[in-house]
Amino acid sequence: MAGIPRPTTVSTKQQRIAELAKQAPSLSFTTLAHHIDVQWLHEAYQRTRRDGATGVDGQTAADYAVNLEANLQSLLDRAKSGTYRAPPVRRVHIPKESGKETRPIGIPTFEDKVLQRAVVMVLGPLYEQDFQDCSYGQVLEAVRQRLKECRLELHPEKTKIVYCQDTDRKGQHEHITFDFLGYTFRPRRAKNRWGKFFV
């Protein structure tokens, strides 16, 4: 029927975030949390790997799904009110290929994985706009392609690119804008809920 608004989907919201980020590349986005609602968390739940190891609480994805709507609503309420605290990460030692040494990995709880995925779903469209038009598009795939040209490949479970300049860190950072594999990373200033700026 004409005149009845259709519900906004997660992908529509992500597209709108991407459009705003592209239109205003130096704008600080301080109000993205309102995009995360129960529908958003449900989509994040769908995108979260369900066969992974359990965190410190021992809760599996199947356990979480038993009361899915109540669990997602509780997670949303805690995240929005600022009372959510990420549980400790379970440390596991995985044997290295040599068999003589191990490497530690951290395994978050399933609920924490869902919230992390929801945050990535908000921030991904925002920061993807910061890459140059000449890039390959999706960040991870682009890095994978660049490394392939060098006859290298990324480990599928260890690939993360993180850069954060925090004003609490000691020492000065000489370069705020930097290049990595042909991408130019530029700062976006943002303010946390306590009014403190970070880059």
Q: What pLDDT digit, counting tens, does each position of 167-198 carry?
A: 554 444 444 554 555 555 555 566 666 777 65
Number of residues that make up the chain: 199
Average pLDDT of the residues in 16-40: 81
Q: What pLDDT digit, counting tens, does each position of 101-111 carry?
A: 888 889 999 99
Average pLDDT of the residues in 107-132: 84
Q: What pLDDT digit, counting tens, does each position of 135-162 carry?
A: 444 566 666 676 677 666 666 555 554 4
How confident is residue 50, by pLDDT bands cut at 50, 70 and 90?
very high
Residue 100's pLDDT is 82
User: Is the separation of the CB atoms in 124 and 14 below 8 Å?
Assistant: yes
Q: Out of 20-29, 51-60, 96-105, which region has the weakest mean confidence (pLDDT)? A: 20-29
Residue 76's pLDDT is 95
Average pLDDT of the residues in 86-112: 89
